[in-house]
Chains A and B, each alone.
Chain A
């Protein structure tokens, strides 16, 4: 199927009551193939893929107006389906990760132990970078920021952090982005470059 042929009239067909059933059937096939390839190996079964496909078709029909033609229709439709599948899998996976252990007092603590195996000079530079990091974390970040970053570093996705804090993913992303900006500015003021941060922290 070529790109141009494939795009022929998806939106029109999905809007036309007489053509819609067949178009939906074709779209369903496409989404199922894609989702099976992407998700069947990742601890999900075919029932999961079929459910997500069904939900995706509903959402795609709902959002036909939002398709702006910046990509092929099938690519856009697949992006909607993958978004649903990813959210659903994250919800399943992170349901059991406890965030209870992360409290204001113990988020983002750095320990300066077990550096003895390194060369003394490298270790001293690293320690001074890490002391700066701890200082910036303590002085420039809010409790919410410390908590959110700790949760992210523990592998909790932004969506899940949002769900558990009655927030939304964008707000959490902004909260974290603001924290990163504060830390970066703090390091820049202390004379560190971006390369220093990555190089010395490895």
Chain B
């Protein structure tokens, strides 16, 4: 029997988005935060470079310029109403974090300091602008700590190391969630009026990634299994500077502070690809440029399979003061000193533009017509509003999680205070109970780890920076095979206390779902846009493809694709040049 808890609002996930939502919901209604990790372990803490807002503390700036850059960076797939809201609210969001105590770096006047970041420009693309507010290269850490401090202050209720397995619905209305308690192996039902998912990304489907081991797409996975749609799954961002082999991120701030990318011949190749802003071009373009440099034999290193991030011309004091962590990563993990030599890097799987579709109130969409699921909300990287379209600009995600986390928290609380508690479906935990029992019943030769490793290799090879019809078809049949292996695979550890093998196995199931959705949507989109690049369809096709894709899984297990128009605004699509 599962233990039942009753709340008004339940937030799943305790990263930046979840905690920001909790501060709002918690002050209005009875709220719980349910998270598989202790809050401060969330991957928001790994974010480095900054959070953008047109504060104009250092250089002239305006939120409209920020909006323009965001739309252009998105390759015109972002919904412009949502972008306007985000860029307008950015200013207050940053100031509010400062007032909560976030220790931003400061200007000589004692205001929040700002620096350059890829794709952020003044006056509609004229020149790079200083817009990223930052705290050394630990901005995400400071955001996560500050929000956690505030939650501690206000006594937010946490259920830590509770793994959410299922969403409960009663007649199309959300009525709670089912969670598995890691410490005991017991199931818990959280019966409530509104639920917000803030479960982060799913980079672990790729071999080389900046994402944590725990970023496995559980939230979108639960949604997909419930027969609800996911939006724009084909758009996955590869960051151009991941540590060679490891994928650990070296922030774009390294280039913002003057770092340069060089190929094996020592050439600053970005001059050829983006003559105006060069190394500070958006990530999709830089990652692709790196891919082709390596493919065409101009890679660096003994195997010519990487690029060098050259910081040797940056003032060593700037490196130590403004980029201390990433300098340490290079020293610790590659034994390379950025002050003295180029750091070997490769594109690394970084950020999911797609996810659970929502409107600007963070309400989850039930379908491509814009109908909403009553009582269900999503925010942060697991959601797709969409403010990032086909390619997210650096520093816009920390902004997204704070702006839409806040909006979601307010909206879910308002909903909860004006609606009755929906009934709990009959035997709410039964499906989860059966599922876990089956996973622990009998034996098999298969192992979670080997299925996962194959998935990661194949996705990296065939569905990453550059894709073709053939590569995607091939990886799709691999996924189908892996699914079969997954079905028969059993968990060997049968203990109740911290059965982390069971957890990893469940996470792998979600990863397979995410991979399937990504590949099916990518194969259907016969154009190139932002992070989705098809070598067999290299042009952007606005006539056909200026639209969001919505993928659902049918009861029979097939996938179905629908489309939704992009909300346009001030900016008409033009060719994206930098």
Question: Are both chains from one complex?
Answer: no
Give B contacts to A, CB under 8 Å: none
